[in-house]
Chain A
């Protein structure tokens, strides 16, 4: 055994499904120093191991299940893992987080990362028990839903405490926005990791472990994380109402994305609110591992055509994307749709986006009748929504087209569809609208390495929502412009976003939930807290400045992954609708005005080339990424 590393499991599991080879590798100390862990470490693996321009659904792609040093500890909100891969939606760097207990189980089983490569010739699943690894036949699981798969595997391995991450029928059918689901209803939803798993004929990973995660300085660690836990308990609204609370909050602002971005105001918002959920359908709250917030909902529809068994959700994104976004206000249908998406293994955000997109295309006459085959492609029709979810998951009829995601579907549909499609870089836009909510989201959606995403990296919405915002994310003293100038002011937002881009990497590479890291000192885990917690756990001395540097390094590395794939400034753009005024509601008429200004600001403050949006050679060198810069030079990017 090599020298002990506190906090980490110290080992990587590498499974080549083509050759059925199982390898255990020591965790690289130099990588920990440079990238900490989780998506940072995984980004480095993908950078060094993936050849550029490969097909994401070919055996050449890899999918990495990654945890961070804090995963599995009693640091609050540390029950995370992320999957990293080249995304079949965007052809860019793909990552997606999920909670539950799968990540902690990885650490207890003795692995920080699990790298899956190659492709199995027949369906298999992997069973990892305290470091012992077995590749098992999964022929009998093909076509099974997520809940069914989970149940059958737990029965087979005879370990009820194991955690299962699997794909549903959508992943098997290579739906480009298929999710990886763990612990039944927890989703690593975005970017199409489920399709990558499906392309490898890997149905599931089941894992259990009972090993210790050791602590370098237990007394200090206890003190810091208990303090952090008590701070997070102050998030009373999120605890009490869950993320779905945002329905009424955003609607009051006129920023609840409705009818494929036609407006930000939904007259029937009350019908899909947190209060309505509580009044009839909510059974209780459910938390991820080590989470004192517990934003998770657990609900059911007892009777009627929308009846579902108890399951987790619906969260805010799901509720809006499968509700107001399609002009639907039937909460029972939304719960049912959530249940189906979870079971088919579909990302609810992309699913809702693509359904609304199809309806609008049809309304405009761009989709022909022979493709529709009698389905009523119309707004506010819950039956249609449910039908389309099934067709997409099975890739039948029009579902086959929509399963490609809005960007590819739009290309095939033609007419004005490519201009209409709400995505950036191919990732469908979620339920936050930069026009009505806050303009910092505009620059975020445009530049984000994984495409149109509101979470990774950073979650800047709260900072920017109003001039009276109290949410400085503990970044004031690092130079975050303060106070924020107002949510519709664009000037300066590129500079402000730099801080979220960099700080947003920290919870990720630590193995944490982003919800722990938004707000202000006293109700969140700040960069300073992370430095203290990390040092006491690992014994590796770390301060907040060093941590910010690492965040910047990781962000640049992910950007460089995309640059090597051919991405640059031309891809940092927004869909046309973002420049068109919001049609109704309190902020009627608002739209994005000057993205170029924000882009210039952002590139400049990041030390990137303004013309190309590519990190400069000097910047990369300064960040200790000389070899990355050299490789880009070899690819004649500089």
Chain B
């Protein structure tokens, strides 16, 4: 079964390690601006990663067909040689998960690291989990329901 990354934002300390591991994995450099996961710090209270849920809206929007779905793991893959950097995918992504790489000027979208997500492996707080799509439903729903209720996410002060 295809898997999704889910987040437990209440545990996030805002350390940016997920961003650093993501950009390292793809480019072998240190540069959080080239990450496909984005850590947000918003005062007050909020530290949280924002990431691609692999919905695929961008696939249809890309004018040159540079975005495809990887049949093996369900991930969005950008064909870098085809991408013209027009930012249509950035425009349509409802989460702000798709961005344009400041160096290559081409699209950056999470590709689930070919089924072995580096961010999940290396988050020190276990904020991120890579779970079967059916299990992910519950967490997706939970976050949406909290947004609807305008309820702030209960924070977890100490790591378990």
Q: Which residues of A contact B (CB under 8 A)?
A: 72-74, 76, 101, 104, 108, 184, 209-215, 218, 222, 226, 229, 233, 239-241, 278, 282-292, 294, 296, 300, 309-310
Instruction: Select B157's contact among A76, A212, A284, beta carbons within 8 Å.
Output: A284
Least CB distance, B3 to chain A, in whole angstroms: 22
Total A-B pairs, Cβ < 8 A: 96
User: Given A282-B157, A294-B124, do A229 and B29 touch, yes or no (CB 8 Å)?
Assistant: no
Expressed in whole angstroms, the Cα–Cα distance for A287 and B10 within the complex equals 14
Interface string of B116-160 (1 = CB under 8 A from A): 000000101100000000000000000000000000000111110
| Residues on the B chain within 8 Å of A184, using CB | 43
Do the beta carbons of B159 and A212 come within 8 Å of each other? no
Do the beta carbons of B159 and A240 come within 8 Å of each other? yes
**Chain A CB within 8 A of B24 CB:** yes
**Chain A CB within 8 A of B72 CB:** no
Least CB distance, B129 to chain A, in whole angstroms: 17
- Give the interface size class of chain B: 20 to 34
User: Given A287-B15, A289-B15, do A108 and B31 touch, yes or no (CB 8 Å)?
Assistant: yes
| Residues on the B chain within 8 Å of A73, using CB | 20, 30
Task: Name the 4 nearest CB pairs between A and B, nearest first.
Answer: A292-B124, A74-B20, A287-B13, A210-B33
Do the beta carbons of B122 and A218 come within 8 Å of each other? no
Least CB distance, A228 to chain B, in whole angstroms: 12
Given contacts A233-B124, A290-B17, 16 further A-B contacts (CB under 8 A): A74-B20, A209-B33, A210-B103, A212-B34, A214-B29, A214-B30, A226-B122, A239-B159, A240-B158, A278-B157, A283-B45, A284-B47, A286-B14, A290-B16, A290-B20, A310-B45
Expressed in whole angstroms, the Cα–Cα distance for A300 and B44 within the complex equals 10
Do the beta carbons of A287 and B14 come within 8 Å of each other? yes
**Chain A CB within 8 A of B95 CB:** no
Do the beta carbons of B158 and A286 come within 8 Å of each other? no
Do the beta carbons of A310 and B43 come within 8 Å of each other? yes
User: Given A287-B13, A309-B44, do A74 and B102 touch, yes or no (CB 8 Å)?
Assistant: no
Which residue in chain B gives the minimum CB-CB distance to A222?
B24
Instruction: Select B47's contact among A210, A241, A286, beta carbons within 8 Å.
Output: A286
Least CB distance, A134 to chain B, in whole angstroms: 19
Do the beta carbons of A210 and B15 come within 8 Å of each other? no
Do the beta carbons of A229 and B124 come within 8 Å of each other? yes
Do the beta carbons of B17 and A229 come within 8 Å of each other? yes
Do the beta carbons of A215 and B13 come within 8 Å of each other? no
| Residues on the B chain within 8 Å of A210, using CB | 31, 33-34, 102-103
Do the beta carbons of B125 and A294 come within 8 Å of each other? yes
Least CB distance, A111 to chain B, in whole angstroms: 15
Residue with the greatest number of chain B CB neighbours at <10 A, chosen from A72, A74, A241, A286: A74
**Chain A CB within 8 A of B28 CB:** yes
Do the beta carbons of B157 and A229 come within 8 Å of each other? no
Give me 8 A-to-B residue pairs in the complex whose CB atoms sit less than 8 angstroms apart, sorted by A's number. A215-B29, A229-B17, A283-B45, A284-B13, A284-B155, A286-B47, A290-B15, A294-B13
Residue with the greatest number of chain B CB neighbours at <10 A, chosen from A285, A287, A291, A309: A285
Do the beta carbons of B44 and A213 come within 8 Å of each other? no
| Residues on the A chain within 8 Å of B17, using CB | 74, 76, 229, 290-292
